[in-house]
Amino acid sequence: MQLTSHQFKTRSREKLADVNLQGALKKLQGNFVKGRSDRVAELENFPAIRDAAADIRARTLANLDVYLEEFERNATARGATVHWAENAAEVNRIVCELAAKYAVKKAVKSKSMVSEECALNDALEAVGVEVVETDLGEYILQLAKEPPSHIVAPVVHKIKDEVSDLFAAKHGLPRKTGIPELCKEARDMLRGHFVSADMGISGANFIVAETGSTMIVTNEGNGRMVTTLPRVHVAITGIEKVVPTLEDLSTLIRLLPRHATGQTISNYVSVTTGPQRDGDTDGPQHFHIILLDGGRTKLLGGDMQDMLRCIRCGACMNHCPVYQSVGGHAYGWVYPGPMGSILTPMYVGLENARDLPNASTLCNQCGVVCPVKIPLPDLMRKLRERQFEQGLKPRRETWGLAAWRWAAQRPRIYATLTKTAARVLAAMGSSDRLIHKLPFGGGWTSGRDMPAPTGLRGKTFRELYQARRTVKS
Amino acid sequence: MRCRPGSICRRSGSSRVSAREAILGRIRTSLRRADGDGAAERVRAHIDAHAVSPRPHITGDLIAQFRDNAVRLLSTIAEVPHVRDVPATAAAYLRAYNLPMRAVCWKALRLLDWVNNGILMEERPARATDMVGVTEVFCAIAETGTLMTLSGEHTPPVSSLLPETHIAVLRTSQIVPSMEEAWQRLRYTVGEMPRAVNFISGPSRTADIEQTLTLGAHGPYRVHIILVSEGDSRV
């Protein structure tokens, strides 16, 4: 996916003015936020379950090499082929080679954010393979040539009428206006692709070390189709997705759909282990699993390691006041919201996504709802510190902080400066004792007023404190 | 890097090994892993223990909980005392919904008396054009109202996926509290992981357009569970 994170501010302004998007984002809050809260309330021992889930993820990461080798051994023993990819380009190369090896003309895909990281569809199309996205949302986006704006509900930014127009134009059938009719039309179009595709490409929500299995959840059933019907199945996932046992998988499945869509369980939880067995009448003859690093090892062993616990439920973005206002496209890459504000700079470079760690009020809604207890605001704050250390902050901010540091270390000068500032601010207050416009602070005062310091001449904190002490004594 | 048409996308065996070794090497360095630090033994012990984490307490009437949760996820349920009652119940359901009286089923169900109940039944895996698929299940989960099926020679997963209507025959004795018990049952009764384990919780659905729930996205529009109490001492 094309990286446009450096345009965060411009894009945000556009998105705030987009009426359709604002309506869609309101709905998302209603459904996903309320859904999560209702489903979590049903679990009487939710805190213990959440602790266990965080612990499973943390324990696995602390022994990641051993679990990956265990996974590889068990997957290979059951007939799957495990590939390792350093980066997106290697993933694309491996998939293209497999397509050539098995003479693949058409590939059907279920939703995979890792394949979005790789821009896999472009790579396959470049070697002449037809790629069809089969998740309804992703299919709509593929027709519209747009990137997803949410990791769970990728087409949340589009309204029904846009889909009606798009289908009418692309399918060449009479324009449908009802949502069930639109879904039926997509079902009919995609059914033909499922049965004629040579390769199925999926992601994996988790991979299981104990059995060498890959697991995906879908509601539509396209995940089952993609992993069952074509003669080749390629599962692509990040190295951090491994879990030790089927019991551990059960714990995580208990939390993932609840936090993602407000469901107790997704409609289809599919655990696949190796290719077709002797006697099987369906299932792929060849099963390949690609494990992608793509920047993940950079997070290991340091102060960002907690981020690798992420199970991609999307709860952090659903609850984020910034995401709720600007939507996913403003973030400019695969992963939006708080998790994306950490993953994007870590995967593509802090210098390419400067605004993202700052696109948060650090209100900690995200940290509170994270099912695996990732301290998201702490991690964003650490990235801000790194930005400062690496000189990636805007010059005005760096200079401002340097000037403040200089003054703060010199108490007399600091007292004089603050005294002057308080007097000036007091004088700037209009008759309602509010400052409506602040030099260098236009971003702040354009949305709200700043109260002027009290007292006719304006007093500093130190002066007020001194005055109180004098009165008391 | 992209593979271009006509160009050679060649990957030598050695580069595959090197990506693997490079990634594992970086992980070991980052985690400050030393040989003989006991990680392999700890991992082995954790896997072999199959420890169950805290989870909801599912006690009491499992059948009632299964029924409530399955209905909540929009499956429909009919209850019969004997397996021999299944064809008549299935026929009544198909008639009630005005569905074709023609279906495919798994091998274990082929000897039931379908024909005298007006159903033209074929024992074979479903194709994309079949309208009704009848299957058994491996077990079912009370906590969520979920069916668990295993792939195999006589239990093709396509039959619960491709038809517009899926009828599942479930014995009450197959209902377990949670997914954890389902895995235990799989370990003890089958031993080996089948190619596909499918957990099914109601009809296929999507809410991708305007967050509006619509049934029958790619899989069945309807999941009808026929619950058989025969041979269950709990009932």
What DSSP string describes chain B? --PPTTS-----HHHHHHHHHHHHHHHHHHTT--TTSSHHHHHHHHHHHTPPPP-----S-HHHHHHHHHHHTT-EEEEESSGGGHHHHHHHHHHHTT--SEEEE-GGGTTS--GGGT-EEEES---TT--EEEEE-SEEETTTTEEEEE--TTS-GGGGTSSSEEEEEEEGGGEESSHHHHHHHHHHHT-S--SEEEEE-SS-EE-TTTT--EE-SSS-SEEEEEEE-TT-TT-
Domain membership of residue B100 as a residue range: 62-228
Of residues A288, A167, A135, the one with CA closest to residue B208: A135
Asked if A196 reaches chain B (Cβ–Cβ under 8 Å), the answer is no
Q: What is the mean pLDDT of residues B29-36?
A: 89
* Chain B positions in Cβ-Cβ contact with residue A97 (cut-off 8 Å): 3, 9-11
* Chain A positions in Cβ-Cβ contact with residue B8 (cut-off 8 Å): none
Q: Determine, yes or no, domain membership for A467.
A: yes
Q: Are residues A166 and A235 in the same domain?
A: yes
pLDDT at B235: 60
Number of structural domains in chain B: 1
Question: For chain A, which residues score pLDDT lower than 50?
Answer: none
pLDDT at B11: 46
Q: Determine, yes or no, domain membership for B40.
A: no
pLDDT at A56: 98
pLDDT at B40: 93
Q: Determine, yes or no, domain membership for B4.
A: no
Alpha carbon distance A289, A302 (integer Å)? 28
* Chain B positions in Cβ-Cβ contact with residue A69 (cut-off 8 Å): 24
Alpha-carbon gap: B218 to the closest alpha carbon of chain A (Å): 6
Asked if B91 reaches chain A (Cβ–Cβ under 8 Å), the answer is no
Q: What is the CATH number of the domain that holds B66?
A: 3.40.50.10420
pLDDT at A456: 55
Largest CA distance in chain A: 94
pLDDT at B219: 97
Q: Determine, yes or no, domain membership for A220.
A: yes
pLDDT at A298: 96
pLDDT at B180 over 70: yes
Alpha carbon distance A376, B202 (integer Å)? 35
Number of structural domains in chain A: 3
Question: What residues 4-23 of chain B have any CB closer than 8 A to a CB of chain A?
Answer: 4-5, 9-11, 16, 19-20, 22-23
Of residues A436, A471, A431, A428, the one with CA closest to residue A453: A428
Main-chain phi, psi angles of A345, to 5 degrees = -60, -35
Domain membership of residue A323 as a residue range: 11-42+314-393
Q: Determine, yes or no, domain membership for A277.
A: yes
Record: contact B217-A245, CB cut-off 8 A: no
What is the sign, positive or negative, of the torsion defined by CA atoms of A366, A442, A416, A391? Answer: positive
Q: Is the CB of residue A130 less than 8 Å from the CB of residue A106?
A: yes
pLDDT at B7 over 80: no
Q: Which of B51, B56, B73 sits opposite A44 (nearest CB)?
A: B56
Q: Which of A266, A297, A328 is the last residue of a domain?
A: A297
* Chain A positions in Cβ-Cβ contact with residue B206 (cut-off 8 Å): 136-137, 183, 219-220
What is the sign, positive or negative, of the torsion defined by CA atoms of A315, A321, A322, A328? Answer: positive
pLDDT at B87: 98
Asked if A279 reaches chain B (Cβ–Cβ under 8 Å), the answer is yes
Q: Are residues A107 and A69 in the same domain?
A: yes
pLDDT at B110: 96
Q: Are residues A359 and A410 in the same domain?
A: no
Q: Determine, yes or no, domain membership for A198.
A: yes
Q: Is the CB of residue A298 less than 8 Å from the CB of residue A346?
A: yes
Alpha-carbon gap: A125 to the closest alpha carbon of chain B (Å): 9
Of residues A369, A355, A374, A359, the one with CA closest to residue A324: A359
Question: In the block, which residue shows the tokens 């984020």?
Answer: A320
Tens digits of per-residue pLDDT, B61-118? 999 999 999 999 999 999 999 999 999 999 999 999 999 999 999 999 999 999 999 9
Q: Which of B193, B213, B215, B223 to mutate to test the interface with A (most CBs of A within 10 A)?
A: B193
Q: Are residues A447 and A432 in the same domain?
A: yes
Q: Determine, yes or no, domain membership for A409.
A: yes
Q: Which of A122, A195, A254 sits opposite B128 (nearest CB)?
A: A195
* Stretch (H or E) spanning A366: helix A365-369
Asked if B203 reaches chain A (Cβ–Cβ under 8 Å), the answer is yes
Alpha carbon distance A405, A416 (integer Å)? 15
DSSP letter (8 states) at residue A280: -
A142: CB partners within 8 A, 6+ apart: A121, A132, A133
Q: Which of A262, A297, A332 is the last residue of a domain?
A: A297
Question: In the block, which residue shows the tokens 């007093």?
Answer: A459
Asked if A2 reaches chain B (Cβ–Cβ under 8 Å), the answer is no
Cross-strand partners of B134: B105, B167
Q: Determine, yes or no, domain membership for A5.
A: no
Q: Which of A158, A194, A280 to mutate to test the interface with B (most CBs of B within 10 A)?
A: A280
Q: Which of A69, A219, A226 to mutate to test the interface with B (most CBs of B within 10 A)?
A: A219
DSSP letter (8 states) at residue A420: H
Q: What is the mean pLDDT of residues B136-143?
A: 98
Alpha-carbon gap: A102 to the closest alpha carbon of chain B (Å): 14
Q: Are residues A122 and A194 in the same domain?
A: yes
Q: What is the CATH number of the domain that holds A72?
A: 3.40.50.10420
